């Protein structure tokens, strides 16, 4: 008699079909239930009203995660044409008008249905701090004009204000460490070095930092369940444009009609106006009594002499603390890696000196030979793609940066390589704006967010494996029944 295959019984077929359908249904439910929702974004806009220029940044993050784990990233940036808003002190309405083009761009970039819920902030830094010191009512008028302009756009306007130096430094630090994913993971943090046109900031976590020594330099944060005790300081007037004024003021102290400046290339010559040079609170006290209207500014191209001029702008003798950077400002021992951005990056990138693994002496030698290059030659090489104003100043700026880092902040030839000159981190610009927005929108929680114990893919795989195992078990448990019914020995 032909033996019937027990696997082909109707019962087995029915069980198999039902089992397969059940597994498919189970896995489909698991996949669909936990599938990330269709990516929808929310947006935030921050205007960085710096001393030299204004830039607009648009950030985006997944809509369903805005309160904790979602990654905020830079979606778009727009550089406002013209100078910083503080330069419009004499005609404030123009400060507002200058923002129009970038704001219109923002209207295009942010989807219309998100406009009304998109927060819009403007933060002003050292240029407005100086204007506020110099002429309070002019600074108020600039703000009024800017507010009026920003309110005419369909976003959720959240205000325009001057950031304190501490905020500027601390938010730059938050940005760098947020983008590097160091905060969420509780890793060692990166210090932040920001060099602007009118001020410069240094911020880092130092374990040897005793807050009580200088409470005004301390900022404490609790982020993702970790406590940070941040040291931060902003030096007003030590941004590269104001330092250049101070350097020129130092050299024109006696009111000569010609100065031979070691920080500019040999053959460089221009006429400058005494009044506009001294038109800043950073130098106004030094104006010579009997100065001619103009002076002739000629280059000499001598790095060593230039460094002496720059060094003379740092007071490194007076210090009432255990340790100081310069001008009597407390600074704990430097610690960890540092990211140096904004003008640090622009200048060192132009000079091809962003590689900090190169020995500091070699960096200085390269800069010295760049400074000694005749102005004509420099123009021939770069004028086609770099603005003449920037170009003329890179020797000075490079010298200032190296002097600030070594003589000011006390980086040594050994610790210089801890610095990385950076512009962007994972597509977002390094700067204070992202940290500012994250803080104002409470997007970094103080405590570590609860996350599901398993990632989505892991969950689906485990459900699938368990379902298949159960099914096999079911089949196997039925199996002993079949041979008994079909293979019964024949009793003769």
Ligand X SMILES: Nc1ccn([C@@H]2O[C@H](COP(=O)(O)OP(=O)(O)OP(=O)(O)O)[C@@H](O)[C@H]2O)c(=O)n1
Q: Which residues bind ligand X (CB under 6 A)?
A: 50-53, 84, 125-127, 196-199, 239-241, 342-343, 346-347, 390
Shortest Å, Cβ 36 to ligand X: 37
Integer Cα distance of 354 and 358 in angstroms: 9
Sheet holding 218-223, edge to edge: 218-223, 226-236, 199-205, 191-195, 338-342, 419-421
Cβ(199)–Cβ(236) under 8 Å? yes
Of these partners, Ca ion, ligand X, none, which one is at the site of residue 157 (CB under 5 to 8 Å by kind)? none
Q: Is 93 one of the annotated active-site residues of the chain?
A: no
Nearer to ligand X, 75 or 240 (CB): 240
Shortest-Cβ-distance residue relative to Ca ion: 196
Measuring CA to CA, which residue among 257, 249, 245 is closest to residue 288? Answer: 249
Active site residue: 168, 308, 361, 407, which one? 168
* Burial class of 157 by CB neighbour count within 10 A (0 to 12, 13 to 18, 19+): middle
197 is in an annotated binding site: yes
Applying CB under 5 A, which residues contact Ca ion? 50, 196
Tokens 């950077």 -> residue:
325
84 is in an annotated binding site: no
Nearer to Ca ion, 175 or 441 (CB): 175
Shortest Å, Cβ 317 to ligand X: 26
Cβ(326)–Cβ(199) under 8 Å? no
Integer Cα distance of 310 and 327 in angstroms: 13
Shortest Å, Cβ 138 to ligand X: 17
Nearer to Ca ion, 30 or 85 (CB): 85
Of these partners, ligand X, Ca ion, none, which one is at the site of residue 307 (CB under 5 to 8 Å by kind)? none
Virtual torsion, Cα 366, 369, 370, 373, nearest 10 deg: -160
Shortest Å, Cβ 42 to ligand X: 26
Nearer to ligand X, 163 or 223 (CB): 163
Nearer to ligand X, 53 or 297 (CB): 53
Of these partners, ligand X, Ca ion, none, which one is at the site of residue 321 (CB under 5 to 8 Å by kind)? none
Cβ(154)–Cβ(264) under 8 Å? no
Of these partners, ligand X, Ca ion, none, which one is at the site of residue 392 (CB under 5 to 8 Å by kind)? none
Integer Cα distance of 428 and 294 in angstroms: 43
Shortest Å, Cβ 342 to Ca ion: 5
DSSP string, 386-455: S-HHHHHHHHHHHHHHHHIIIIIS---TTTGGGEEE-SEETTEE-SHHHHHHHHHTT-S-SSPPP--SS-
255 is in an annotated binding site: no
Residues annotated within a binding site for ATP:
197-201
Residues classed as catalytic = 168
Residues annotated within a binding site:
197-201
């Amino acid at each position: 008699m032909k033996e019937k295959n027990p696997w082909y019984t109707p019962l087995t077929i029915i069980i198999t079909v039902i089992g397969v359908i059940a597994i498919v249904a189970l896995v489909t439910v698991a996949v669909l239930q936990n599938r990330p929702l269709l990516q929808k974004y929310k947006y935030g806009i921050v205007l960085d009203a710096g001393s030299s220029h204004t830039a607009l940044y648009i950030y985006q993050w997944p809509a369903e995660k805005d309160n904790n784990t979602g990654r905020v990233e830079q979606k778009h940036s727009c550089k406002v044409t013209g100078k910083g808003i503080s330069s419009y002190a004499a005609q404030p309405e123009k400060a507002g008008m200058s923002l129009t083009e970038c704001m219109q761009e923002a209207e295009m970039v942010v989807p219309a249905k998100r406009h009304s819920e998109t927060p819009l902030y403007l933060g002003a830094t050292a240029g407005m701090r100086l204007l506020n010191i110099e002429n309070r009512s002019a600074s108020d008028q600039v703000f009024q004009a800017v507010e009026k302009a920003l309110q005419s756009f369909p976003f959720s306007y959240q205000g325009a204000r001057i950031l304190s130096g501490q905020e500027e430094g601390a938010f730059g630090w938050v940005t760098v460490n947020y983008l590097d994913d160091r905060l969420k993971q509780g890793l060692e943090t990166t210090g932040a070095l920001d060099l602007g046109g009118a001020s410069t900031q240094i911020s880092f976590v130092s374990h040897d930092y005793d807050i009580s020594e200088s409470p005004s330099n301390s900022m404490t944060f609790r982020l993702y369940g970790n406590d940070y005790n941040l040291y931060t300081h902003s030096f007003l007037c030590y941004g590269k444009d104001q330092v250049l004024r101070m350097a020129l003021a130092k050299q024109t102290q006696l009111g000569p009609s010609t100065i031979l400046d070691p920080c500019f290339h040999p053959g460089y010559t221009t006429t400058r106006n005494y009044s506009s040079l001294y038109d800043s609170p950073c130098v106004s006290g030094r104006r010579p009594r009997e100065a001619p209207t103009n002076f002739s500014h000629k280059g000499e191209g001598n790095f060593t002499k230039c460094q002496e001029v720059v060094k003379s702008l740092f007071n490194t003798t007076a210090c009432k603390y255990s340790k100081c950077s310069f001008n009597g400002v407390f600074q704990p021992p430097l610690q960890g890696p540092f990211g140096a951005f904004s003008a640090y990056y622009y200048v060192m990138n132009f000079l091809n000196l962003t590689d900090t693994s190169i020995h500091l002496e070699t960096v200085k030698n390269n800069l010295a030979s760049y400074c000694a290059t005749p102005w004509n030659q420099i123009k021939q090489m770069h004028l086609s793609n770099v603005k003449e104003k920037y170009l003329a100043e890179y020797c000075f700026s490079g010298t200032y940066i190296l002097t600030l880092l070594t003589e000011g902040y006390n980086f040594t030839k050994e610790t210089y390589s801890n610095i990385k000159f950076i512009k962007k981190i994972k597509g977002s610009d390094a700067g204070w704006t992202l940290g500012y927005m994250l803080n104002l929108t409470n997007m970094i929680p103080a405590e570590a967010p609860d996350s599901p114990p398993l990632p989505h893919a892991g969950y689906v795989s485990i459900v699938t494996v368990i379902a298949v195992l159960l099914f096999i078990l079911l089949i196997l448990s039925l199996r002993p029944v079949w041979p008994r019914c079909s293979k019964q020995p024949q009793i003769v």
